[in-house]
């Protein structure tokens, strides 16, 4: 590993010489695939690779564990609002929540580690809720949160998936449904 970031600048110059930028939607935009992916920051779970996405295909939000947090809910509310007000006639997007096996967020379940980290000014009970030990279960929880979130347009569809780090396979856990059509129980 080098501190020199010139290799990234060179990769960017190579990218800039391509026509890939032409695929990117203009603001106000709806992604080419009408998709909003929420997943983990883990480099083994790059949505562009595991889903075959290209520039402009999806909005991608990544955080530790790919969990639904207050900050993520605010972002989703903003995108949903923009969609309703700026592109109301466009196709509505689907939110795909993806959690994965062998997730580092599972370390939030370690009481000593979590407690020591919380001492840096974080809420320990909130941190314990972020652990992904069973991706299928946490995906169900997060999809249920989205389906009951009042600031998300009822026209948005939400689905949930578990990604297996070993096999590379994505498994549907919660089929897509519109918030307007969903009951509060998931999977």
Residue 7 lies in a domain: no
CATH number, domain containing residue 75:
3.40.1050.10
Residue 175 lies in a domain: yes
Residue 129 lies in a domain: no
Q: What is the pLDDT of residues 66-124, one digit of tens each?
A: 999 999 999 999 999 988 888 888 888 899 999 999 999 999 999 999 999 999 999 99
Residue 62 lies in a domain: yes
Domains identified in the chain, total number: 1
Residue 40 lies in a domain: yes
Residue 60 lies in a domain: yes
Q: Give the pLDDT of residue 160.
A: 98
Prediction pTM value: 0.89
Report angle CA 42, 74, 29 to the nearest 5 degrees. Answer: 85
Can you give the residue range of the structural domain that contains 160? 26-102+134-181
| Termini Cα distance of the chain | 43
Higher pLDDT, 23 or 143: 143
DSSP string, 78-118: HHHHHHHHH-TTSPPPEEEEEEETT-GGGGGG-HHHHHHHH
Residue 141 lies in a domain: yes
Residue 61 lies in a domain: yes
């Amino acid at each position: 590993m080098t501190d020199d970031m010139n290799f990234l600048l060179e990769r960017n110059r190579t990218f800039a010489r391509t026509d890939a930028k032409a695929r990117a939607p203009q603001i106000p935009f709806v992604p080419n695939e009408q998709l909003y992916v929420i997943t983990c920051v883990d480099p083994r779970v790059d949505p562009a690779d595991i889903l075959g996405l290209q520039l402009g295909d999806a909005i991608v939000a990544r955080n530790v564990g790919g969990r639904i947090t207050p900050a993520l809910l605010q972002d989703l509310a903003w995108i949903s609002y923009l969609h309703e007000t700026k592109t109301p006639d466009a196709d509505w997007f689907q939110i795909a929540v993806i959690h994965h096996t062998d997730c580092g967020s599972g370390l939030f379940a370690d009481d000593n580690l979590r407690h020591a980290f919380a001492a840096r000014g974080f809420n320990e009970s909130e941190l314990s809720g972020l652990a992904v030990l069973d991706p299928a279960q946490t995906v169900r929880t997060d999809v249920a949160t989205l389906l009951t979130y009042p600031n998300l347009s009822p026209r948005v569809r939400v689905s949930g998936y578990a990604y297996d780090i070993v096999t590379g396979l994505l498994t549907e856990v919660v089929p897509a449904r519109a918030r307007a059509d969903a009951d509060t129980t998931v999977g």
